[in-house]
Amino acid sequence: MAKQPLITLRSDAKGLSFDRPTAIQIFGFVRDAIISMDLQPGQMISETSLANQFGVSRTPVREALIQLANIGFVEVLPQRGTYVTRFSMEKILESRFIREAIEVSVVSYLAENVTDEIIAEGEKIILEQKVAADDHDALAFQKLDDKFHQTLANHTKYARVAQVIEAEKAHMDRVRCLSLEDHDQFKRVLSQHTAIIKAIKSGVPEKATKAMSVHLKDVYNVLKVIPQVHPEYFV
């Protein structure tokens, strides 16, 4: 019998709690396991196994898997089961294109409307990322990366901007986390985030858009390497 996947709970996770919907919590745990590559592209996910692990019925597990399918992390194949999706080069590049179109506008807007609060929040996240980098904690580092971009988007005061970025980044998440196997990538991201905040602080939109564009184009460098090292992860 094939070994069933188990979700490795991080040391800061306390399991399921009673104050949040069960499906949402399972979604978070499984999503983190997929991003961190504990569950790898092409791997089967058993509803029964997850239900047994979390001590719940299959209903919240099924709800969580539906949410994961909606963001492109798993695919449900009729009569075959649920599998972690493999990387799609086309979707990754499309996601990067859409994100750049939106996020360069975000930082341009912020540079024109810069506040001390924006700079302080950005710099705080960068400091937290440095701690995660020192600990070589790729998942924590990436969550802070997400927080950095979401924080900038939220300061535009347009709610849908952050929502679109959140939806589009899913195709890049696992590749970004996998790229952090190279510890130099921590330094590159930190340097790029620092440049973005510095450019916003300057109040010059052109500097801010250039810094963000350079940051988001970094995925091209990652995609030159990962398909060669892990060809089995791609469709």
Per-residue pLDDT band at 110 (split at 50, 70, 90): very high
CATH of domain 22-84: 1.10.10.10
Residue 15 has pLDDT above 80, yes or no: no
pLDDT of 5: 57
> Do the Cβ atoms of 165 and 152 come closer than 8 Å?
no
- Lowest mean pLDDT, pick from 47-51, 84-88, 161-165, 221-225: 221-225
Residue 157 has pLDDT above 50, yes or no: yes
Cα separation, 48 vs 39, in Å, equals 16
Per-residue pLDDT band at 46 (split at 50, 70, 90): very high
Please state the rounded mean pLDDT for residues 190-196: 98
Would you list the domain boundaries of the chain?
A: 22-84, 89-229
pLDDT of 11: 41
Please state the rounded mean pLDDT for residues 10-26: 75
Single pTM value for the model: 0.84
Please state the rounded mean pLDDT for residues 15-23: 85
Residue 2 has pLDDT above 50, yes or no: no
The structural architecture, per CATH, of the domain 89-229 is Up-down Bundle (1.20)
Identify the residue with better confidence: 170 or 60.
60
pLDDT of 1: 43
Give 114: exposed, middle or buried? Use CB within 10 Å, 0-12, 13-18, 19+: middle
Q: Helices 184-202 and 138-154, interaxial angle, to 10°?
A: 20
Please state the rounded mean pLDDT for residues 186-192: 95
pLDDT of 6: 61
Mean pLDDT across the chain: 90
Residue 89 has pLDDT above 60, yes or no: yes
Residue 78 has pLDDT above 90, yes or no: no
